[in-house]
């Protein structure tokens, strides 16, 4: 039981770290793109939010999957 909970903790930590890193990268990239393409008014906030959440989801998914794959390996 201890190994499964340890693996679950590693995967959730991977998802959380991936989400945080992805969110930060997405916010910076979304802001840059919104300014670059001259997105008008309040649509900038929506654009930045969509980019942030999308990037956080993708990074979190991949880092969580990588942690899950890594959990199965025994060294």
What pLDDT, on a 0 to 100 scale, did the predictor assign at position 24?
Answer: 98
pTM for the model stands at 0.86
What pLDDT, on a 0 to 100 scale, did the predictor assign at position 5?
Answer: 78
Rounded Cα gap, residues 57 and 24, in angstroms: 12
* Coil vs helix vs strand at 1: coil
What pLDDT, on a 0 to 100 scale, did the predictor assign at position 72?
Answer: 77
pLDDT digit string (tens) for the chain, length 75 residues: 566 678 999 999 999 999 999 999 999 999 999 999 999 999 999 999 999 999 999 999 999 999 999 987 765
Rounded Cα gap, residues 8 and 30, in angstroms: 31
What pLDDT, on a 0 to 100 scale, did the predictor assign at position 69?
Answer: 92
Domain spans in the chain, listed from the N-terminal domain onward:
14-68
């Amino acid at each position: 039981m201890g190994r499964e909970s340890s693996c679950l903790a590693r995967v959730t930590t991977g998802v959380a770290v991936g989400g945080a890193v992805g969110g930060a990268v997405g916010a910076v990239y979304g802001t840059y793109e919104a300014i670059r393409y001259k997105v008008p008014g309040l649509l900038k906030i929506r654009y930045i939010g969509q980019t942030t959440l999308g990037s956080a989801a993708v990074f979190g998914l991949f880092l969580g999957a990588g942690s899950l794959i890594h959990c199965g390996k025994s060294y």
